[in-house]
Amino acid sequence: MEAILNTSFDWSGRRAPYIVATENDCLNGASMLFGYLLTNTAQIFADVRTYWSPESVKRVAGHTLEGAAAGGILHLINSGPATLDGTGQQTRNGRPVIKPFWEITEDETRKCLAATTWHPSITEYFPGGGWSTRFLTRGGMPVTMCRLNLVKGLGPALQIAEGVTVDLPEKVHETLDQRTNPTWPTTWFAPNITGHGAFRDVYTVMNNWGANHGAISHGHIGADLISLAAMLRIPVYMHNVPVERIFRPSAWAAFGTQCLESSDYRACANFGALYA
């Protein structure tokens, strides 16, 4: 049910996706809604489940990670609500994308369905008879993962990680996938690393992530999310968006120009929530 609702089509044809979060995670649902409102595209709900270092992949699967994945990868995987658009079977100029529903072709909907299998429950999960979808997101797709967290004494705060989806050899994927749950959809994600702060390396990204869930949107929309957060007076405490792409109201400069993350906190606290 969750997967179909989050997808840009169903048995009646193409339509706007319904934004649905699983496990009563309204904060990740709000994160998905942010991405949807900024892009008009379906959103992937996933666990930020496992960090695979280059050394671990080599030891377990005998494979050397290369390219965008050279520093390690994150296994994004969850049982139910990942949109079938997340298969990456929609394309633009030959590259995998997630499109607004009105741009999706009938052939692309068939390809998304063909790339998805449907599985009964396993012993560890859904013993009552629940079902899950399984697919593998195509690599080479720019994506942005975000997460809205609610912190006692602070309120809402937003995290953002831009990166790219990754292709692995089939045997390597199967070996790593068996370590979690092979009946769930997988997205292999390599965040863009800056070499400092929370983006010093891939492990540090996961170590600083505030929850086990993330909302994944097509495209690098981190700058848009930062501007939206400023409008809503929500501080952003972790991102890898280049400073030249960031836009906040000019009044933010009054709260400090050297450390923009700290000034964001002060400005948001001073101006107060736009919606209380």
pLDDT tens across 152-185, in order? 999 999 999 999 999 999 999 999 999 988 889 9
* Band of residue 129 on the pLDDT scale cut at 50, 70, 90: low
Element (H, E) at 163: strand 155-165
- How far out from the chain centre does Cα 258 lie? 29
- Check residue 81 and give its pLDDT: 80
- Check residue 276 and give its pLDDT: 64
Per-position b or e across 31-61, b if 16+ CB within 10 A of its CB:
bbbbbbebbbbbbbbbbbbebbebebbeeeb
By the 8 A CB rule, do 144 and 46 touch?
Answer: no
**Paired strand residues for 43:** none
Look at the block and give the residue holding tokens 């600083």: 208
By the 8 A CB rule, do 101 and 85 touch?
Answer: no
- Check residue 127 and give its pLDDT: 64
Active site residues: 23, 47
Global pTM value: 0.95
Q: For 46-70, what is each residue's pLDDT tens digit?
A: 999 999 999 999 999 999 999 999 9
- The arithmetic mean of pLDDT across residues 66-75, rounded, is 97
- The arithmetic mean of pLDDT across residues 120-146, rounded, is 84
By the 8 A CB rule, do 160 and 145 touch?
Answer: yes
CA-closest candidate to residue 178, choices 61, 93, 63, 45: 61
- Check residue 119 and give its pLDDT: 84
Q: 2-244 adopts what CATH topology?
A: L-fucose Isomerase; Chain A, domain 3 (3.20.14)
SS3 assignment, position 238:
strand
Element (H, E) at 60: helix 54-61
Q: Is the model's pLDDT at 97 over the cut of 70?
A: yes
By the 8 A CB rule, do 236 and 149 touch?
Answer: no
- Check residue 131 and give its pLDDT: 76
Q: For 177-200, what is each residue's pLDDT tens digit?
A: 999 888 899 999 999 999 999 999
Q: Where are the domains of the chain?
A: 2-244
* Band of residue 113 on the pLDDT scale cut at 50, 70, 90: very high
By the 8 A CB rule, do 171 and 61 touch?
Answer: yes
